[in-house]
Amino acid sequence: MNLRIKILKYLTILLYGVIIFRLFLIMFVEHEAYLQKANKQHVKKEEISPKRGNIYDRVGRELAISLERDSLFIDPSMIKGQETLNLLNNYVKVDYKEISESAESNKRFVWVKRKLDDEVSRKIKDLKIQGVGFVTENVRFYPKGSIASHVLGFVNIDEEGIEGLEKYYDKYLRAQRASKVVLRDATGKKLSDGVYLEMKGNDIFVTLDEGLQHIVEKYLDEAMIKWKASSASAIMMDPFTGEILALANRPTYNPNNIETIKNLDNVRNRAITDLYEPGSTFKIVTATAVLEEKIILRNTKIDCAPGYIEVGGKKIKDVHKYGVLTFEEVIQKSSNVGTIKIAKMLGREKLYEYIKKFGFGVKSGIDLPGEAAGQVKPLNKWSGTSMGAIPIGQEVAVTPLQVLRAYCAVANGGYLVKPFVVSEIRSPDGNLIYKAVVQRERIFSEKTAYTLREILTKVTEEGGTATTARVEGNEVAGKTGTAQKYDPKIKTYSKDKYVSSFVGFIPANDPKIALIVIVNEPKGAHYGGVVAGPIFKAISNEALAYLNVPRDDAKQKGVVVSINNVNREVVLSR
């Protein structure tokens, strides 16, 4: 018995010795290894979803902001049975195959649905399903819906800019990613949410005015319905600074529901990406050049009989047989014959020089992605018909923005301005990071600009091609464009597909806005004065009221016209 007790005693001592030795190893020799293992199980790093910077219009109205949303994930190892997944599937689509494969590979985290609606998130939380968790992420939200969508653009699920300003200024809007430390128990339940500073990107202030943008989009919608057009675009610009006040395209899309877009053509910013032959709006180049080079005067007479002209074996006609016209009347009535004869006086070299001066064939440099440069053939590629086609806006391809920019030069006294959309970028604490600077280059004299302004006002007066663009109380200076579309199938110009346009500025004697309207393939009519002129008038009329621009007749009577921007009530005061 004593022997047994001794053996048991020694075994106990030995066992305690082994335990003490093992504890010694754990505490002093293998301490770091076990500490790392414990930290791996209980201390987790979670990535913080940084807030993207906001986008504001020129007076501080929110156009794009970031909101917090719950993103749903599951831990496959903690899901008990198919019934749990079926219950979850009542609210979100569950990928059973992915979850099964993740469970087999011991994967502990699987996304189910990111950035849930608040109502769906609340209902799933109420179920209190074990193994189901939520991560707070930011979602981009556009408070005005589809307003200015082609300028703002959108982001992907990870808040990376894909289109528009969101893409062009992504590095400024997107904050640097960071992480936080959280504590979990053995079952993976979160014990602490950690401490961290909110990460936020820089805020952007744009030149757009939400009120003007709304006006432009409203009348584009009406035009699409009335003319059953395939597409339409409009751009409004400050002719002196290059600030884009409004820019819109139709068809359009809502960046809040980007996953519902079936036709990606709706996303394209046609105002700066799509090329077209400008037609008669391009005649401004020839008109400017002959005045600047002092080749003809305003009252110089041009014989436009017999109503057509042959160039390189191609007959080019006028709408009517005008006979003899003054230079001013050639522009007012948009005579093709007169314009071509004037261009011949100028010569191809000078014509090409002024085309390049106006910025055609190169990008304007606007701060939006996807801008097209247009197409202007070098002189050595001009054909025998080019001197008949190019002066009247054929054999060249331009964007609406390039044409508007050219007319801004007439409006502002001869300067080619660089268009821009972002005026300022500020850090989250309000410090100025970037401020836009007006960039302009003189391309012709103020005298030439003044003469052209007066001539272009005749276009909207009796005898002109765009009396429908006239705005009561203010003179409009502008030009119509009616361009046949080239049909590659028949390798000639289509007889029933046109691009109708009007471009101009108002008030003509003191321009506040420059505006171009493009309607692609209208049905029922195709002349620019008939289709695009009335849209220009409607937009300009409401825009002038919105901007509190006095009418010419009101100024003459000593009356100032103002408008309350909230309720649009017009108030007259002396």
- Nearest-angstrom CA–CA distance, 512 and 446: 17
Euclidean distance between CA atoms 217 and 472, whole angstroms = 22
Q: Residue 409 contacts by C-beta under 8 Å, 6 or more apart in sequence?
A: 358, 415, 416, 417, 443, 444, 449
Q: Is residue 188 part of a domain?
A: no
Q: Residue 189 domain-assigned?
A: no
Identify the pLDDT of residue 47: 58
Q: Give the contacts of 438 (CB within 8 A, at least 6 positions apart).
A: 240, 241, 242, 417, 418
Same domain, 111 and 248: no
Residues 340 and 476 in one domain: yes
Residue 574 to residue 572: CA distance in whole angstroms: 7
Structural domain includes residue 184: no
Compute the distance between CA of residue 340 and CA of residue 352 in angstroms, rounded to an integer: 14
Q: Are 498 and 482 in contact (CB under 8 A)?
A: yes
367 falls within a domain: yes
39 with 57, same domain: the answer is no
User: Who wins on pLDDT, 42 or 412?
Assistant: 412
Q: Which residue has the higher pLDDT, 309 or 133?
A: 309
Q: How confident is the model at residue 562 (pLDDT cuts 50, 70, 90)?
A: very low
Quick check: is 244 in a domain?
A: yes
User: Which range has the worst mean pLDDT, 129-143, 174-188, 361-375?
Assistant: 174-188
170 and 307 fall within a common domain: no
Range of the domain at 19: 2-43
Same domain (yes/no): 393, 505: yes
Q: Is 266 left (phi over 0), alpha (psi -120 to 50) or beta?
A: alpha
Claim to verify: residue 26 and residue 164 sit in the same structural domain: no
* Cβ neighbours for 127, distance < 8 A, ≥ 6 positions apart: 87, 88
Same domain, 82 and 24: no
* 3-class SS of residue 74: strand
Has residue 250 got a pLDDT over 60? yes
Instruction: Match 């600047």 to its residue by tokens.
Output: 292
Share of the chain above pLDDT 90, in %: 63
Residue 568 or residue 305, greater confidence: 305
Query: 179: how many CB neighbours lie within 10 A of its CB?
Result: 12
**Stretch 164-171: mean pLDDT, rounded?**
97
Q: 3-state secondary structure string, 530-571?
A: HHHHHHHHHHHHHHHHHCCCCCHHHHHCCCEEEECCCCCCEE
Position 527 scores a pLDDT of 93
State the pLDDT at residue 535: 98
Residues 109-121: b if buried by 16+ CB within 10 A, e if exposed: ebebbebbeeeeb
| Within-domain flag for 481 | yes
Are 453 and 480 in contact by the 8 Å Cβ rule? The answer is no
Model confidence at 183, pLDDT cuts 50, 70, 90, reads low
- Where residue 292 sits, what CATH number does that domain have? 3.40.710.10
Is the distance from CB of 134 to CB of 72 less than 8 angstroms? yes
Instruction: Write down the pLDDT at residue 556.
Output: 46
pLDDT of residue 292: 98
pLDDT at 356: 98
Spatial distance between the Cα atoms of 229 and 8, rounded to a whole number of angstroms = 100
147 in any annotated domain = yes
Q: What's the average model confidence in pLDDT over 197-201?
A: 73
Same domain, 135 and 273: no
Mean of the pLDDT values across residues 464-473?
92
| One domain, residues 226 and 346 | yes
Q: What is the pLDDT of residue 135?
A: 76
CB neighbours of residue 393 within 10 Å: 27
Residues tagged active-site: 280
Residues 512 and 425 in one domain: yes
Q: In the structure, what pLDDT confidence band is assigned to residue 568 with cuts at 50, 70 and 90?
A: very low
What pLDDT, on the 0 to 100 scale, is given for residue 192? 55
Using the Cα atoms of residue 235, residue 458, residue 315 and residue 297 in order, give the sign of their dihedral: negative
Taking each helix axis from N to C end, the angle separating 283-292 and 400-411, rounded to the nearest 10 degrees, works out to 30
Q: In this predicted model, what pLDDT tens digit does every residue of 525-534 receive, in sequence order?
A: 999 999 999 9
CA dist 198 and 202 (Å) reads 13
Predicted TM-score of the model (pTM): 0.83
What phi-psi label fits residue 176: left (phi over 0), alpha (psi between -120 and 50 degrees) or beta? beta
- 3-class DSSP state of 176: coil
227 or 262, higher pLDDT? 227
Backbone phi, then psi, for 270, in 5-degree steps? -60, -30
Residues recorded for the chain: 574
CATH number at residue 171: 3.90.1310.10
The count of structural domains within the chain is 3
545-551, long-range: CB < 8 A, 24+ apart = 545/570, 546/211, 546/212, 546/215, 547/212, 547/512, 547/513, 549/474, 549/507, 549/512, 551/472, 551/473, 551/474
The predicted model gives 345-349 an average pLDDT of 96
Peptide bond into 522 cis (omega under 30): no
Kindly tell me if the per-residue pLDDT of 195 is higher than 70. Answer: no
Q: Check whether residue 35 and residue 123 sit in a common domain.
A: no
Lowest-confidence region among 200-204, 251-255, 443-447, 549-553: 549-553
Mean predicted confidence (pLDDT) in 244-273: 92
**Average pLDDT score, the chain:** 86
436: left (phi over 0), alpha (psi -120 to 50) or beta: beta
- Residue 193 within a domain: no
Do 414 and 291 fall within a single domain? yes
